[in-house]
Every structure is written in C-alpha cells, then in structure tokens.
Structure 1
C-alpha cells in the first residue's frame, strides 16, 4: 500500500513534533525522580524550576518552527500526544493511580499552550507572509 503525499504532509510533522516532545521530556524531566527534603522537613520536587523552564523553551521552539512552516495542527497534536505519552510512561509506576490526574493536566496544558502559540504564529504568518 502506497501512502499519498497529503497523508505524509500531515503525519510526518506531527510525528516529528511528538518525538521532540517525548525526547525533551526525557532530557529535561525524565532523569529526575527524587524529591528534595529541606532542613525544616518540607518536601519539594521532583522537578526544579529550571527543568520545567527548559522543557517549555524546547517545546516553544518546536511548536514555533512547525507552525511557521504551516503545520499548526501538527504542532498542537504532536505536542499534546508526545507530552501525554511521556508523562504516562514516566509516572505510570505510581501505585495510587493518581498519576492519571497529572497526565490529564499535562495533556490539557500541552494542548492549550501549543494551541495558543500556534494561533499567534498563524496570525503573524497571515500578517507577514514568509518569503522563500
């Protein structure tokens, strides 16, 4: 069976963005599983602010790049799917089952964040078309 170009044009960018999202999760968050206990007994973590900011910056670059090339739907879908799968894989060993709430929040946040960024890029593209 032969894939048609329109299918590839829609699928490949989404898969690339999803791969970037999963790799970014692994690079920025996937290695840090320990909580920090301060001297006063307060617990924080497992992620530090710089790790989440690094993930957000990486995803911002990927979404902007895809949307600027006219692949806004792929940017939104790929980011949402990639982050959701990465969060599920990372947190699914939680015996309480509450991890699914966090995964759902990551899914909603990834969707909303990438949709807003893609909408801004789309608006800018319409106002100032890219020259090639």
Structure 2
C-alpha cells in the first residue's frame, strides 16, 4: 500500500515541472508582445506573430520529450496542458467581450490532444528502440 504514493510522486513532480516550464516558455515567447498591428486597410492583427507561436511549440518539444521518454506521460500531457491553459487565461482575460474563454478552451483541448499524441509517439519509438548494448 505504501508503494502507490511513492510511484505518484515522480508523476506529480513531472506535472509541476512541465507546468512551470510551459508558463516560462509562454512568457518568453508570447508574454511580452501585447500590441496589435494595424494594417493599411484598418484591420488589426496579432498580438502574436507566427514565428512566436512556432518558437513556443518548438521550445516545448524538449520538456515533453524529457517527460515522455521517462514514461511520465501524465507529466508531459497534463503539465503542458495546465501551463498553456493557465498562461492563455492570464494573458487573455482582460478581453471585455468574454470570448477569450473560447480561445482558452481551444488551447486546453488542443494542447491536451497534441501532447498526448506526441507523448504516445515518443513512448512508442523509445520502446521500439529497446535497450542498446555496446559491443566491445
């Protein structure tokens, strides 16, 4: 009975670490850009550029790989999802229309499914590789 809590500690720690890393990555890639660009025709875009979002996604691959390759699937999926959802909520909650909740929900669902698929692929590839032996 005592073994179960000890097996949960690394998973919970992985969730916490991934959530904090994800929040820091959001702040580094997206948190500083808060202004919209006005186009010549009067429309607005932004506040994020495509390179910022791509940079965030690429930056998150390393911690997701770290967690999934160590079989901390819950850490990879839930930590990243919680971090992105929390960051999006904090960053977008000043929207007076209330529509930001839809965007936050889309971030939550999308990040959950994408990190679940990426984690499954990583685990599958790592399992297929098996243990490596060094011939002397």
Q: Which residue of 2 aligns with 1:30?
A: 31
Q: Please give the TM-score of this superposition, normalised by the length of structure 1.
A: 0.91
The size of the alignment, in residue pairs, is 129
Q: What is the SS of the residue equivalent to 1:108?
A: helix
Q: 2:61 aligns to what? A: 60
Unaligned stretches of 5+ residues in structure 1: none
Show the counterpart of 1:124.
125
The aligned residue for residue 74 of structure 1 is 75
Structure 1: distance between partners of 2:42 and 2:131: 54
Give the Cα–Cα distance (whole angstroms) in 2 for the partners of residues 19 and 66 of structure 1.
13
- CA RMSD after TM alignment: 1.5
- Unaligned ranges ≥5, structure 2: none
Report the CA distance between 1:31 and its aligned residue: 1.0
**Correspondence for 1:105:** 106
Paired position in structure 2 for 1:51: 52
CA distance in 2, matches of 1:61, 1:95: 35
Partner residue in 2 for 1:41: 42
How many Å apart are 1:113 and its aligned residue? 1.1
Q: Secondary structure at the match of 1:70?
A: coil
Measured in 2, the distance between the counterparts of 1:117 and 1:71 equals 13
Give the TM-score normalised by structure 2. 0.89
2-structure distance, mates of 1:64, 1:10:
14
Deviation at 1:5, TM superposition (A): 2.5
Determine which structure has more spread, i.e. the larger CA radius of gyration: 2
State the shift of 1:131 in Å: 5.0
